[in-house]
Amino acid sequence: MRDRFLRAGRRAPVDRTPIWLMRQAGRYLPEYRALREKYDMLAMCRAPELAVEVTLQPLRRFDLDAAILFSDIMIPLRGMGVDFEIKHSVGPIVANPVRDRRDAENLRVVEPERDVPFVMQAIRLLRRELDGKVPLIGFAGAPFTLASYIVEGKPSRDLLRTKSLMYGDSAAWHTLMDKLAASVSAYLLAQIRAGAQAVQLFDSWVGALSPRDYRAYVLPYSKKIFDALSATGVPRIHFGTGTATLLELMQEAGGEVIGLDWRVPLDQAWDRLGDIALQGNLDPAVMLAAPEIVEQQTRAILSQADGRRGHIFNLGHGILPNTPIENVERLVEIVHSFVVETLR
């Protein structure tokens, strides 16, 4: 198996810097858009054969070092009793948002094999299809980020309802976060049992919080999940955006790999965090620019890694729908050629 992604996750030496891209199976690919004309996004997540096909699409085009299951962080929530749809070019809309303690108490804890068996089935099929060529990453949303969708009821910039519940009704907040932590733990464990060889916890919106609030209201729940997974031995990636002042606390919560957005220079993050692997961190907006800009910014990041072990190249957030295919090809080439030049 091409195992440089897993090796980097353990900070073992690698021949080249591994690269994968958040949302690599997604809308920038014409073959994905062609399928989306026929199927609804959630339907594609729920049909194992379609999820497998979409997961494999980017691997046929690009020399990527990992596959990531095609799914959505909202998928397990229906099993908790959260009724949602994904509205095109808006995002998740929740019909029954959680606004008080009773709402939170009414949520169930996910039982993966009962609620989302199609996810594990897709993982098992994928492991067969991938046939050891590259490792398969499973993933889930982190409790805070999932709570933000469940409480707001829709995507929100300021997360004011979420923060108001957090500050104003700590019984409701802790009930909600407890159930999310238990659900996400069970969900990721089931993915690992089904064959996921690494997992990423997406706390995409946690950058809305101060370190003080992260420690009080979020860290204990994310930590429960990482603790629940530690015996599995699979690399655990802990990702968020806007997290420049949260990195040490995210490290404390857990993960072998911390995922960075583009706002934190890779070398500064490493100086702060010490012995840990880092994933990132090209601004996805750079991928809309001319190939020279992509090359220049990619090389700058690779230079900051400075030959340290444990760098997994990625964008700082999901790849954008209008990213040119040629830029992705070029990016993968640059990342794979750079390490050879400098580390051999």
- Positions annotated as catalytic residues are 23, 27, 36, 72, 149
Q: What is the CA radius of gyration of the chain?
A: 19
Contact 171, 112 (CB under 8 A): no
The least CB distance from residue 168 to its own copies, in Å, is 5
H-state helical runs in 233-315: 247-253, 266-273, 291-305
Beta bridge partners of 279: 259, 312
Residue number with CB closer to its own copies (119 or 287): 287
The least CB distance from residue 178 to its own copies, in Å, is 21
How far apart CA 80 and CA 213 sit, in angstroms, is: 25
Residue type, 95: A
Contact 39, 47 (CB under 8 A): yes
Residue number with CB closer to its own copies (181 or 264): 264
Residue number with CB closer to its own copies (111 or 267): 267
Residue 27: count of CB within 10 angstroms of its CB: 16
Residue number with CB closer to its own copies (150 or 209): 209
How far apart CA 153 and CA 275 sit, in angstroms, is: 39
Across the beta sheet with 236-240, what order do the strands follow? 67-68, 136-141, 198-203, 236-240, 257-259, 277-279, 311-312
How far apart CA 344 and CA 12 sit, in angstroms, is: 15
The angle subtended at Cα 93 by Cα 236 and Cα 209, nearest 5°, is: 50
Residue number with CB closer to its own copies (156 or 232): 156
Beta bridge partners of 259: 239, 279
Q: Which residue has the tokens 């729920």?
A: 46
The least CB distance from residue 185 to its own copies, in Å, is 28
Residue number with CB closer to its own copies (114 or 157): 157
The least CB distance from residue 213 to its own copies, in Å, is 7
Q: Cis omega (within 30 of 0) on the bond before 96?
A: no
Residue number with CB closer to its own copies (86 or 228): 86
The least CB distance from residue 248 to its own copies, in Å, is 11
The least CB distance from residue 210 to its own copies, in Å, is 5
Tokens of 289: 């620019």
How far apart CA 89 and CA 178 sit, in angstroms, is: 31
Q: Please report, as ranges, the residues that interact with its own copies according to CB under 8 A.
A: 157-160, 163-164, 167-168, 207, 209-213, 242, 244-246, 262-265, 268, 283, 285-286, 288-290, 293, 297, 300, 320
Phi and psi at 137, nearest 5°, equal -100, 130
How far apart CA 266 and CA 257 sit, in angstroms, is: 13
The least CB distance from residue 216 to its own copies, in Å, is 10
Collect all residues with Cβ–Cβ distance below 8 Å to 285 and sequence separation of at least 6: 320
